[in-house]
Chain A
Amino acid sequence: MTDRTLLLDKIGGAGLPTPRVESWKYTDLKALARLNPVLADANSGQSITAVPTGTLPEIEAAQIVLTNGELRPDLSDLTALPEGVTVEETDAPAPPEFWREDALVGLAPGTAIAIRVAKGVEASKPLHVISIASGDAMAIRPSVTVSLGEAARLVLIESHIGDGTYFTNVTANVTLARAAALGHYKLQADGRSAFHIARTALTLGDNTEYDGFRLSTGGTLARDEIRATLDGSHIEARLNGAYMAGDGQHIDTTSFIDHAKPECRSHQVFKGVLDAGGRGVFQGKILVRPDAQKTDGYQMNRALMLSPDAEIDSKPELEIYADDVKCSHGATIGELEENQLFYLMARGIPRDRARHLLIEAYLADAVEHVGHEPTRAAFQKTISAWLQHHDGTPETLEIRGART
């Protein structure tokens, strides 16, 4: 039985957010409304029979595979999970309060993949959640909840790939209990015609450490929204990232760091590379509530423009209600420097290669923040490959078994 629910019917009344809404000022969902995809039915992903290689970061990890938003036990390592880690399908949690009004959050599916790490457990290997999409004019809804018990530790990689004009509406809810530590690394490498809208809610407790990095290279329109609630003291939250947009790509990163309690540190460095016809959006807000004395907050968005036909909109914001805090933010825009290109060329390095080296170097000081070495190396490779394909023939992802 096929359920032919259209996205706009499912969302109903309020419809998709429009640029009239402050937080959607720079990202217009008109094209998504025009596509008005059909919600993918439960078995639509079954035609995908293998996990494609190439685009995905190669990291030794237990894989949890979703096709068109549904868990695929047959493609996953559910029986080979590290000790103390469980993965199961559960009822999706209610959306957090701050997103309740949001039509897209209401679109979240009834079930979610729940990842739990028991108290005191340090997972012996990383988990890699892989969302694969294939289809046209189709909406999928991968949803993950992650909870780490007290003092638990985990490295979680989240990858998104696919081909087609699909819309992936991603939700991730992450909760860290006291003294837990999570390395959370996301690769958004969805197809170049895809729409990717992701909401990640982080709830961090006392003495927790969150090391996050998001690398976004895919989609025709991508919005990656992160909301971190620092709901404890002595939290160390690092939310860094890099994004690269070429012709016909719009990549939006929107973060909100809510410092609710004293003596926490949040650190955000995002770096973007934008080529002709590409557009980046960065909206970052740090809120320091009255109780959050001794907050140390840092936020920086840097964009490298490869062409005069590239665009970046940066909107950093600080809202501070405590008096004893150290917060700073900024945004910069730069170009490749001719004298650096010439220096490289004067050593025999062809212009294209010289550009790649300089772009890689530019992104390197964002990527070096990835705390997990194998992921750092894998992401560096992703960037190199992106640069190569970007100037040459674009990479086409072959998803075996799909679309037959």
Chain B
Amino acid sequence: MSLLEVRNLRADVDGKEILKGLDLTINAGEVHAIMGPNGSGKSTLSYVLAGRDGYEVTGGEVLFDGKDLLEQAADERANDGLFLAFQYPVELPGVAGMTFLREAVNSKRRHNGEDEIDAMGFLKLVRAKAKTLGISDEMLKRAVNVGFSGGEKKRNEALQMAVLEPRMMVLDETDSGLDIDALKVVAEGVNAMRSPDRGILIITHYQRLLDYIVPDKVHVLADGQIQRSGGKELAVELEKKGYAEYIGAAA
């Protein structure tokens, strides 16, 4: 059984059809990449998977570990192990980073019928993971993403991912806004999480990230559908030729 199975998915935003029959199957242990022109529906797919209000599914289905994903609320999906690293992480004034992480971890533990995490042990764990991602104690104390640079926000997403240890990770342009060193650090973080029971979906515009995190499959998303799938060499080809032929095909 595949970990994530998207079948003929259709979705509207504000009455406009954005996903127009999208198919995608990701097995545990695999890393997939989606590339595609601006506005093709990549973030829409990630939001539909994560359960954002306002993204109305009009057809198709999504199975996560064999379960109907679409009927669950966003928090249940997350607690079942789906993680979305946001293209634009949200600022939460007044919510300290540590509080946020602790709430998230405890929500998952409650969901799994476990006790709340020990506060001291948790602090140590977070600090250790933060350090490998170049996140300072000072940043952890600050309100989530408030006043963070673009790159800091992306690293913060990577930290949440590392702490929550999801089974299926969707990274929406986690590489954009990162400088070269930070890109390596975050890519190493993601690679460290590669495992036979975890699936990873990377949305990116740049082949460079895929040099660091080598995908098993690459898909081209244009006009709300997967237009073509291939191996990592497809990313190289796209980098050279662009999306002209897919945009044409779709129109």
The interface of chain A, by Cβ under 8 A from chain B, is 338-340, 342-351, 353-354, 357-358, 360-362, 364-365
Contact status of A346 and B94, CB under 8 A, knowing A351-B75, A353-B103: no
Given B50, B53, B95, which contacts A357 in the complex, CB threshold below 8 Å? Answer: B95
Interface pairs (9), CB distance under 8 Å: A338-B54, A346-B52, A347-B103, A347-B160, A348-B111, A351-B75, A358-B95, A361-B95, A362-B94
B95–A345 touching, CB < 8 Å: no
**How far, in whole Å, are A404 and B95 apart by their CA atoms in the complex?**
45
**Please, how many angstroms separate the alpha-carbon atoms of A103 and B160 in the complex?**
59
B79 touches A346 (CB 8 A): no
What residues of B have a CB within 8 angstroms of the CB of A354 in the complex?
Answer: 75
Minimal Cβ-Cβ distance residue in B for A342: B52
Contact across chains for A346 and B92 when beta carbons are under 8 A apart: no
Q: What A residues does B160 contact at CB under 8 A? A: 347
Q: Report the minimum CB–CB distance from A176 to chain B (whole Å).
A: 32
Say yes or no: is B125 at the interface (Cβ < 8 Å to chain A).
no
Given contacts A360-B94, A361-B95, contact A342 B74 (CB under 8 A): yes
Contact A342 B53 (CB under 8 A): yes
Knowing A345-B74, A345-B75 are in contact, say whether A350-B107 is a contact too (CB < 8 A): yes
**Contact digits for B73-84, partner A, Cβ 8 Å, 1 yes 0 no:** 111001100011
What 12 new A-B contacts, CB under 8 Å, besides A347-B107, A365-B94? A338-B54, A343-B90, A345-B78, A346-B74, A347-B160, A349-B107, A351-B75, A353-B107, A357-B100, A360-B94, A361-B94, A365-B93
Given contacts A342-B52, A343-B86, contact A348 B107 (CB under 8 A): yes
B63 on interface, CB distance cutoff 8 Å: no
- Contact A364 B94, CB 8 Å, known A338-B53, A346-B74, A346-B78: yes
B57 at the interface (CB under 8 A from A): no
Q: Which of A342, A348, A351, A361 contacts B79 (CB 8 A)?
A: A348
B90 touches A361 (CB 8 A): no
CB nearest neighbor in A for B81: A348
Restricting to B89-110, which residues have a CB under 8 Å from any CB of A?
89-95, 99-100, 103-104, 107-108
Q: Are the C-beta atoms of B94 and A349 separated by less than 8 Å?
A: no
Q: How many B residues have CB within 8 A of the partner chain? A: 30
B95, closest chain A residue (CB): A361
Tell me the dominant secondary structure on chain A's binding face: helix
Give the docked Cα–Cα distance between A347 and B53 (Å).
15
B164 at the interface (CB under 8 A from A): yes
CA distance A339 to B54 in the complex (A): 11
Contact residues in A for B79 (Cβ distance below 8 Å): 348
Q: Are A348 and B94 touching (Cβ within 8 A)?
A: no
Q: How far is the CA of A235 from the CA of B61 in the complex (A)?
A: 66
Q: Which of B52, B73, B78, B93 contacts A347 (CB 8 A)?
A: B78
In the complex, what residue of chain B is closest to A359 when comparing beta carbons? B94
Interfacial residues of chain B within 7-27, with CB under 8 A of chain A in the complex: none
In the bound assembly, the distance between CA atoms of A349 and B95 in angstroms comes to 13
* Residues of B close to A353: CB separation below 8 A: 103, 107
Nearest first, the 9 closest Cβ-Cβ pairs linking A and B are: A361-B94, A348-B78, A343-B90, A345-B74, A347-B104, A348-B107, A348-B79, A345-B75, A364-B94
Contacts of A365 in B (CB 8 A): 93-94
User: Which A residues are in CB contact (< 8 Å) with B100?
Assistant: 344, 347, 357
Residues from chain A with a CB closer than 8 A to the CB of B99 are 357
Q: Which A residues touch B84, using CB under 8 A?
A: 346
B189 within 8 A of A: no
For residue A240, give the distance in angstroms from its CB to the closest CB of chain B. Answer: 15
Bound-complex Cα distance A342 to B53 (A): 8
Q: Which residues of B contact A362 (CB under 8 A)?
A: 94
A342-B52, A353-B107, A357-B95 known; A348+B90 contact, CB < 8 A? no
Interface residues in B45-83 by Cβ distance below 8 A to A read 50-54, 73-75, 78-79, 83
Question: Knowing A348-B78, A348-B104 touch, does A339 contact B94 (C-beta < 8 A)?
Answer: no
B193-220 residues at the A interface, CB under 8 angstroms: none
CA distance A169 to B78 in the complex (A): 51
Chain A residue nearest in CB terms to B80:
A348
Quick one: which of B79, B83, B86, B92 has the most chain A CB within 10 A? B92
* Residues on A with beta carbons closer than 8 Å to the beta carbon of B103: 344, 347, 349, 353, 357
**Chain A residues, Cβ within 8 Å of B91:** 340
Tell me if B75 and A358 are in contact (CB < 8 A). Answer: no
Chain B residues with CB under 8 Å of A364's CB are 94
CB-based contact A348/B51 at 8 Å: no
A340 contacts B73, CB within 8 Å?
A: no
Contact B92 A343 (CB under 8 A): yes
- How far in angstroms is the closest Cβ of chain A from B19? 18
Which A residue sits closest to B88, measured CB to CB?
A339
Give the residue among A346, A349, A362 with the most B Cβ atoms within 10 A: A346
Residue of B at shortest CB range from A357? B95
Residues of chain B within 8 A (CB-CB) of A344 are 92, 100, 103
